Copies of this chain bind each other. A is one copy, B any other.
């Protein structure tokens, strides 16, 4: 069934005999119900007559016709008020009490701002970060899902077309994933249709949604989740999106455009809001492309020889986003490298020692960024090349790591890793986040007394958190009881506890908000008394008390790796003239 076809009234009848209205005679008390459907096609007088006839009201009886808001329908407002599907009362007077109840059929179609403004308020700045990279991440998420079963390389490209001489500015995300057929492309646009509810056309045949098997670090690529991400991202970035896609089964390419302007036009023309046209065509056919989108010709030419693909092309890009993407290229590419660190580098992450000379894992994921500007050579980066994202820094400045696991409520799995960043010679090796102001002002308040303001880690919480393998940027976990600095003076200096960083990897049994910026209840669940933490050594769960083990581990790290030289009590410089 197509949505809307059962709606009130019925356009075709309405056209023939005027709008259909529902009438309740409530001049007297009577049993509920009893409405009649009339067509109000002619004049007000005609309508009055029709009513008299239908309800058997003699010509010497008076009545008023009222809307349910108690506005009297009159000659003057008749054509303004009467619409298809409206409910009216027949009363003795306009303020007569409703002696028996009435049922008024209404429709409450979501406003198109559901799509168009979805992004606008969804992405927000936490810690002063610009959320734009997190919107782009939604499109990368979709491409990761779509390429999950690729046999060869998984290629995801973000192309920023900022050279206006080539057509209007656009942000495109292109992947060589499985693509969409027309049903799936239509479903792309259905707000809130998730893989769990999308049984009607697709999964029904395939027997519904199947959760992927457990994977190390939950790197399951199963990150299309709520049915909102693409829409939110696209309308956060710009005002219009064109999707071009092809599956392997057929030679047809499908195109669909969703735009704010279209919605406004449909509203104005009183057309059904949630409808549009898919263009089906042969590959490399760009005959429909207009002059101001001429960069599309090349895009479309590339279709030749591609088995399956999806391109999501956003136009009407907000100028403030263009500025940010241009001016902070390093910042946001680094952030993306951080979000997808473990997808790009595998479950061990970007360990320079480990990765040297080792062949890349199968199912390799290339996420490439291309930025084209007028009169400049394009900027290109593969996220894997980025060496300054926080996870890369953490991994490569760590001298040892401590792995653990927690199981919550049966199937909620959290893998965790804590890394020790030693003090070497005259400084901490704990990596600084160049874009994160730690807010610390470490000053000597007193010459004899150094204030250790949380030391190396500063105010940062220990744990960053990944969900199904991708970073959820705004949720961090301060610590757990067993890895927090001990209340009493411990066997190692307190600052050692500030030399640890950590990562948590959860599966999708922990819920995240639809914008994928925060976990809903990770911290609550992990703090639950029933949550059991076990240490993992070489992939094996250990039967040990994790708090004791962890304390010993910190002590060992301190003893083995911290090479602390402290110069205390500077007396002045002495030049030895005696040698």
A residues in contact (CB < 8 Å) with B: 1-14, 67-70, 83-85, 95, 97-115, 117, 121-128, 130, 181-183, 186-187, 189-194, 197, 226-227, 249-252, 254, 256, 270-282, 285, 287-288, 439, 441, 443, 445, 448-449, 451-454, 459, 478-479, 484-485, 487-489, 493-494, 511-514, 518-521, 523-524, 527
Contacts and interface: CB of A to CB of B under 8 A. Distances in A.
B85 A2 contact: yes
A388 to B, nearest CB: 23
Residue of A99, A280, A493 with most partner-chain B CB within 10 A: A280
Nearest to A485: B441
Contacts of A111: 190-194, 197, 227
Give the copy number. Answer: 2
Q: Which 3 A-B pairs have the closest CB atoms?
A: A4-B7, A3-B109, A4-B4
A323 to B, nearest CB: 14
Contact of A518 (B126, B128, B254): B126
Nearest to A109: B3
A479 B190 CA distance: 43
Given A124-B520, A459-B459, A107 B527 contact: no
A491 to B, nearest CB: 13
A35 to B, nearest CB: 11
Contact of A514 (B122, B288, B484): B122
A274 B488 contact: no
Given A278-B103, A521-B124, A70 B250 contact: yes
A277 B106 contact: yes
B2 A110 contact: no
28 contacts: A4-B7, A6-B272, A68-B254, A68-B280, A69-B181, A70-B252, A95-B250, A97-B251, A98-B252, A101-B287, A102-B281, A103-B279, A105-B276, A106-B189, A107-B274, A108-B187, A108-B275, A108-B276, A110-B190, A110-B274, A111-B193, A111-B197, A121-B511, A122-B514, A125-B521, A445-B452, A449-B449, A459-B459
Contact of A84 (B1, B191, B277): B1
Nearest to A186: B106
B227 A101 contact: no
Contacts of A252: 68, 70, 98
B101 A280 contact: yes
A31 B521 CA distance: 57
A104 B4 CA distance: 17
Contacts of A103: 277-280
Given A186-B108, A452-B451, A513-B121, A8 B275 contact: yes
A28 to B, nearest CB: 14
Contacts of A274: 107-110
